[in-house]
Amino acid sequence: MTEQSPYSSPEAQQHPPFAPQQFRSNVPKVFGIIHIIYAVLGIGMSLVGVVSFLFADKMMGAGLYGEQQIAEYMSVVNKIAPYTYLDTAVRIALGIMLFISGIKLIKYQYSGLKLSNFWSISRVLWLIIFTALTYSITKEIQQAAVKLNPETAAIQSSIGTVTMLFTIVPFCIYPILSYILLNRASVKKDLN
């Protein structure tokens, strides 16, 4: 028989003093917070982009260029308007999806992972599709910019294409990283 200490309760005698605790991975919570920040910034930047597009002709240097030059340039820029509005709508929808996913990941809900995975794949695909759709129009805009300011011809021709194609890469990093890191077995086991 074991003697009970007069200083301990009977409940303390029944449980081992150092029961192993299960720790949850912090990865879902961290990505949930980053998802929310990324979503809010993405939605905000999409709206700023549309507003700046709507006022692009007024933001052009009125003293630098004549009315005719600005009108010619804007006629080319306006060709991309439907794609700009479509891109904004898609990015806002993806931003809302990412925001909801972030909240669910903070709560360790498995549905947050599924939504995050769908967002990751959709975001990368949309970047590729949008670039393919607007490539020729963007080249026209670059040529119109060269007509507007011929001194930039060398810069526009070389940097334009490189910039357009390589902007896909930085915007794909976070979706790909979140997809890889959130789908590890050590993270998935902690989601409800």
173 located within any domain = yes
**Averaged pLDDT score across all residues of the chain:** 84
First to last CA, the chain: 43
62 located within any domain = yes
Average pLDDT of the segment spanning 1-14: 60
125 located within any domain = yes
Model pLDDT for residues 110-119, shown as the tens digit of each residue = 999 999 999 9
- Checking if the pLDDT of 61 tops 80, the result is no
158 located within any domain = yes
The pLDDT assigned to 8 comes to: 62
7 located within any domain = no
- For 69, the token pair is 């030059």
45 located within any domain = yes
Q: How many domains does the chain have?
A: 1
CA–CA gap between residue 79 and residue 84 (Å, rounded): 10
- Checking if the pLDDT of 10 tops 80, the result is no
Average pLDDT of the segment spanning 37-51: 94
Which of 139 and 105 is assigned the larger pLDDT? 105
96 located within any domain = yes
Average pLDDT of the segment spanning 59-82: 76
73 located within any domain = yes
Range of the domain at 72: 25-188
- For 154, the token pair is 């060398």
